[in-house]
Amino acid sequence: MSMNSTRESGQAAPIYITMVAGLLFLALAFFAVGQAGATRNGAQSAADAAALAAAQESRDLFSEDFLGGLLNPGFLEDLFNGDRIGTADGCSAAARFADENKADLDNSADGGGCSFARNRWSFTVNVITQKPMGANILPGTEKKHARAHATAVVEPRCTFKPAEKEEEEEAKPPANDDDPEDAKPVSPGLLVCGGRPWKIDPDHLDLLPDMADLFLVRLARD
């Protein structure tokens, strides 16, 4: 081997070492970024699940109030065609589902960990991951946790069509009926769900759709 070849090999060695070190650093950085991204995605999934759980819990708990007002046309008009808001209960389900997705409700966030809206039937949830984004990968990330928020809304699937006046008059008891308790309950009208009418029959309330058929739960993207 000539002296020139030996000299060139000796000069190239530091360059190769620098290149390998640079590639290793880039690989480490990409790994850290990927891990942080996965943690953020996990936080968003936890927030989505928690918000949906809160809204579904609220919808299901509202069934008692719904049945209580089912024969009241004004109640149904407000609920399906107006702005009546459902129950605010549901945040306990949000906390449970956040934990199942390795996150906690972030009570330090603006609005708290779980909040019920005042202007519509919806829940907004803020979560923080239980584990940090990149422990022992890059300096400064050991104690950082990913945060995310989501809002889920409950919306009617149906509209309410009040009974015609003629139907109400026909269903009324005779004027000389002395016992109002013997008066037959009157159907307030129809629920129209997906184009299908459901007559509210006081004698067969068990035939009505369930809460999942009456109310849609979805994530709010607006």
For 198-219, write each residue's pLDDT tens digit: 899 888 877 788 899 999 999 9
Q: Distance between alpha carbon 149 and the CA centroid of its chain, in Å?
A: 10
What number is the average pLDDT over the span 92-114?
94
pLDDT at 165: 65
Is residue 84 within 8 A of residue 139, CB to CB? The reply is no
List alpha helices for the chain, DSSP H. Answer: 3-61, 63-68, 73-81, 91-100, 165-171, 211-214
3-class secondary-structure state, position 210:
coil
pLDDT above 50 for 221: yes
User: Which of 118-122, 162-166, 202-206 is the least confident region?
Assistant: 162-166
pLDDT level of residue 181 (50, 70, 90 thresholds): low
pLDDT above 80 for 220: yes
What number is the average pLDDT over the span 100-108?
94
pLDDT above 70 for 159: yes
What number is the average pLDDT over the span 137-163?
84
pLDDT at 87: 87
What number is the average pLDDT over the span 167-175?
50
pLDDT above 70 for 28: no
Phi/psi of residue 45, nearest 5 degrees: -60, -40
What number is the average pLDDT over the span 41-67?
93
Q: How far apart, in whole angstroms, are the C-alpha atoms of residue 76 and residue 10?
A: 87
Q: How far apart, in whole angstroms, are the C-alpha atoms of residue 115 and residue 152?
A: 11
Query: What whole-number percentage of the chain has pLDDT above 70?
Result: 69
What distances in angstroms separate CA 187 from CA 76, 119, 150, 160, 165, one per listed residue? 12, 30, 39, 12, 11
Question: What is the overall mean pLDDT for the chain?
Answer: 79
pLDDT level of residue 3 (50, 70, 90 thresholds): very low
